[in-house]
Structure 1
Amino acid sequence: MPEALSNLNPALLLTSVFALALVASVLLRLWLSSRQIRHVVQHRGSVPAAFADNISLAAHQKAADYTVAKSQVGMLELAWSTATLMAWTLLGGLDTLNQALLSWLGGGMVQQLALLTGFVLIGGLLDLPFSLYQTFVIEERFGFNKMTWRLWLGDLLKSSLLGLLIGLPLASLILWLMGSTGRFWWLWAWGSWMGFSLLMMVIFPTFIAPLFNKFQPLEDEALKTRVTALMQRCGFSAKGLFVMDGSRRSAHGNAYFTGFGAAKRVVFFDTLLNKLSPDEVDAVLAHELGHFKHRHILKRLVGVFGFSLAGFALLGWVSGQVWFFAGLGVQPSLTGANDALALLLFMLVVPVFSFFVSPLMASMSRRHEFEADAYAVAQTDGHALSSALLKLYEDNASTLTPDPVFANFYYSHPPASERLVRLGT
């Protein structure tokens, strides 16, 4: 009885803190979304003066309507995800699933893997309606969706199969480390996770991405010559220049670097090449090169490594505390392993608290974008970069009038007005 009482107060404290953090985060998210919708609607009637010569009123209003539609669906999705989070935790959903699998399979690795798999499958099914609505209603309404039902189903099957082939062995390794390597299992698990992450950076562009998209070598010799000269001027090497058939799924355009070390690739969406001039493509690529030149990718990678190490260390501590499970609506086994339960509870709860530091991460990302823009201007033509950004804002229906508070909290890229002012255009 004294032991039970000693575990009661920490459990109640965790329940209270979690509930308060969840309520606070939901209210803050709803307030921010309401501000965004209200601000965008208020400025829908006219194009901001700085963009009046380049953006039509019709394009501006389309971007406003697109932003509002996504925000409204996002608010509904927030309500749904909050309800499912409560159902999994404090209302006992995860505990019910765990007990059912224990009675069916008994304890052991198979039961723990079944718990992880069942959670992922149920969670995916619960999220499916919003994913479908976003793709086949919102994106379709605004002319962006190019996905067919057959293609969508194929993507779903391939991603599910990949999840099983990659996720189950990784989960088995983590669970084995948790149960077999002593009190510092979390250090071994962190090392395994980091090794896996680095491995995925190498194999993803070569083996996984081609399962979903076609990547053809860039055939435009004039553009290839320009791009190669730019990369040489910037001291950057890549394994190849590729064009991806992004138009099979969406009308949105993009360009990115992928891979790690010798496996780095430059990838252009075909939609991007169809919309931008060679000078503009040069400027966009120079911006991406700026991220590498300023070591933004490395800095983010180091940050991920550091935060994940802290996360695994915290998980290593709370996974051995009865109050951690009890405070989140789960009855842990007193004789068997609770490792899968600990992993799932940790993944469910941490985002509730990490949400409050997201403005810091967004601010750092915006600073990196400004630095990459400055590098692009130094290497190419600033007017070409401004022109490319305006085309991308228009073609992707990105609002030119976001709410400042919303943008400061969420935006990983600076709003158009701030970005173009920095570029001097």
Structure 2
Amino acid sequence: MDVEDLKFLLLGILTFGYVFKKALDFLNIRRPIGQIPETLSEYVNSQKLIEARAYALANYKFGLLTGTISFLLTFCFIYFGFFGIVDHWLRGFIENPMWLSVVYLGVVFIGSDLVAIPFDYYHTFVIEEKFGFNKSTKATFFSDKAKGYLLSIIVGGGLLLVLLMLIHQMGKDFWWQFWGISALFMVFVNLFYTAWILPIFNKLTPLPEGELKQQIIQYAKSVDFSLENIFVLDGSKRSSKANAFFSGLGKRKKVILYDTLIEQHTPDELVAVLAHEIGHYKKKHLLSGMLIGILQIGILLFILAQFIHNENMSMALGGSEMAIHLNIIGFTVLFSPISTVLGIGMNLISRKNEFEADAFAKETFSGLPLAEALKTLSVNTLSNLNPHPWYVFVHYSHPPLLKRLERLEKDTLVPLV
């Protein structure tokens, strides 16, 4: 494929991706609110539905604006060859091709993030603030940005440097070596995320002794699940939204409960949420998810290897000669349709896993408190109770609330502990 054809292929893929995403967003926001389901009648009233609709509309308009700006900037950078102009400018300061690539990609990353900061600020301190979700201060917001940059430079920059070294030394064979390094890195992050990375942004404290901890330990013993590390995360430092998750493997596994989750739910509901998370562990969803993620990285790297030294790709982005960093940028656009398809597949698996984890919680504890917890979470976060099926198919990693409640509330058992 010659340079012009490749250039317009990139522009076509970019345009299709933008139109596809915004069409799904439009279908979803145009979806009628519908009647309040009977199962939610005690939790939701017409005023709450109107508020949830207003929140969805505000996020839709914001996403339309930011998505359009991002699309137009990227389109112009490709069409007018600005990516190549930046490459030509940096060559006046840096001769080593590997360091040129490191600096170039760093400039692109930091530049795009700096453009995004005002929009992130608006979303946090205007939209999230308006609907009562934001608890972050301006100091926390900018501190998170600074910490994120530092972490990106140390971790992301280190990985990028290794990748580029392998590309320059091994040619197309770099992909399987970096694949192995990426796999080890993923395992490392899973093991040490809560110990090394999470504390940079949040404070973790052991769950204090009391009724909740006793019920959690009692339930864990009932399902033969070794559980010693239960921590509370200060999520209220940034948002009123709640969450819980598992991290780590083997003896390093930890349960993280947001303080907002503890504030908003009863002990039975919290144990049910934990039972759901243990269900993921028992069903080996965490392990299979990691393996699938590693496989996806291998596919990505293999395809990247086929384009990494393609001179026409660099020229299509406005370069005057072959540049690995330009080819990496071109590849991210070229790979985006495949990434979308892989994402849909991952979401299909994820929704199946969520149903299985719900079933585990229902069988080993009870479906009723988990259903109550899901209702509270959904109402408190103003989630969409009637999303468009196509939007769910493409974007949802969790089944819609009503689908989960339908299974949980059928012949529900009482709590076992």
Q: TM-score range by the shorter chain?
A: over 0.9
Select 2:384's aligned residue among 399, 421, 424.
399
CA–CA distance in structure 1, aligned partners of residues 184 and 320 of structure 2: 33
Match of 2:33 in 1: 43
CA–CA distance in structure 2, aligned partners of residues 354 and 96 of structure 1: 28
User: 53-62 or 128-137, which moves further after superposition?
Assistant: 53-62
Q: Is the Cα contact below 8 Å between 2:56 and 2:384 reproduced in 1?
A: yes
Cα distance 1:185–1:253, how it changes in 2: closer, same or farther (>3 A)?
same
2:328 aligned with 1:343: yes
Gaps of 5+ in 1: 1-8
Match of 2:353 in 1: 368
2:407 aligned with 1:418: no
Percent of aligned pairs with the same amino acid:
30
SS in 1 for 2:80: coil
1:259 CA displacement: 2.4
1:4-23 equivalences under 5 Å are 9-23=1-15
Select 2:225's aligned residue among 224, 228, 236.
236
SS in 2 for 1:413: coil
1:35 CA displacement: 1.4
Task: Provide TM-score, normalisation by structure 1.
Answer: 0.91
Cα distance 1:282–1:77, how it changes in 2: closer, same or farther (>3 A)?
same
Match of 2:282 in 1: 293
Equivalent AA in structure 1 for residue 11 of structure 2 = A
SS in 1 for 2:79: coil
CA–CA distance in structure 2, aligned partners of residues 303 and 272 of structure 1: 30
CA–CA distance in structure 1, aligned partners of residues 119 and 2 of structure 2: 36
1:354 CA displacement: 2.0
1:6-405 equivalences under 5 Å are 9-39=1-31, 42-43=32-33, 46-333=35-322, 338-405=323-390
CA–CA distance in structure 1, aligned partners of residues 171 and 308 of structure 2: 13
1:340 CA displacement: 2.8
CA–CA distance in structure 2, aligned partners of residues 168 and 129 of structure 1: 24
Q: Is the Cα contact below 8 Å between 2:135 and 2:237 reproduced in 1?
A: yes
Q: Is the Cα contact below 8 Å between 2:317 and 2:326 reproduced in 1?
A: no
1:271 CA displacement: 0.4
CA–CA distance in structure 2, aligned partners of residues 182 and 124 of structure 1: 30
Q: Is the Cα contact below 8 Å between 1:89 and 1:329 reproduced in 2?
A: yes
Q: Is the Cα contact below 8 Å between 1:89 and 1:330 reproduced in 2?
A: no
CA–CA distance in structure 2, aligned partners of residues 105 and 174 of structure 1: 19
Q: Is the Cα contact below 8 Å between 1:280 and 1:384 reproduced in 2?
A: yes
State the Cα RMSD in Å. 1.9
CA–CA distance in structure 1, aligned partners of residues 329 and 82 of structure 2: 12
Equivalent AA in structure 2 for residue 142 of structure 1 = F
SS in 2 for 1:31: helix
Q: How many residues align?
A: 410
SS in 2 for 1:105: coil
Q: Is the Cα contact below 8 Å between 1:239 and 1:263 reproduced in 2?
A: no
Match of 1:3 in 2: none
Gaps of 5+ in 2: 411-417
1:125 CA displacement: 0.9
Q: Is the Cα contact below 8 Å between 2:269 and 2:373 reproduced in 1?
A: yes
Please list the CA deviations of residues 171-216 of structure 1 after superposition, one character each: whole Å capped at 9, or x if unmatched.
Answer: 2111111111344111111111222222222222101211111111
Equivalent AA in structure 2 for residue 115 of structure 1 = Y
Cα distance 1:253–1:226, how it changes in 2: closer, same or farther (>3 A)?
same
CA–CA distance in structure 2, aligned partners of residues 240 and 55 of structure 1: 36
1:241 CA displacement: 0.3
1:315 CA displacement: 1.1
CA–CA distance in structure 2, aligned partners of residues 286 and 32 of structure 1: 34
Cα distance 1:20–1:356, how it changes in 2: closer, same or farther (>3 A)?
farther
Please list the CA deviations of residues 194-244 of structure 1 after superposition, one character each: whole Å capped at 9, or x if unmatched.
Answer: 222222222221012111111110004221121122223333334510001
1:353 CA displacement: 4.2
SS in 2 for 1:243: strand
Please list the CA deviations of residues 322-381 of structure 1 after superposition, one character each: whole Å capped at 9, or x if unmatched.
Answer: 223233443334xxxx33333333234423542245333322211111111111100111
CA–CA distance in structure 1, aligned partners of residues 234 and 285 of structure 2: 27
1:155 CA displacement: 1.0
1:127 CA displacement: 1.6
Equivalent AA in structure 1 for residue 357 of structure 2 = A
Equivalent AA in structure 1 for residue 33 of structure 2 = H
Q: Is the Cα contact below 8 Å between 1:25 and 1:356 reproduced in 2?
A: no
Match of 1:6 in 2: none
User: 25-34 or 142-151, which moves further after superposition?
Assistant: 25-34
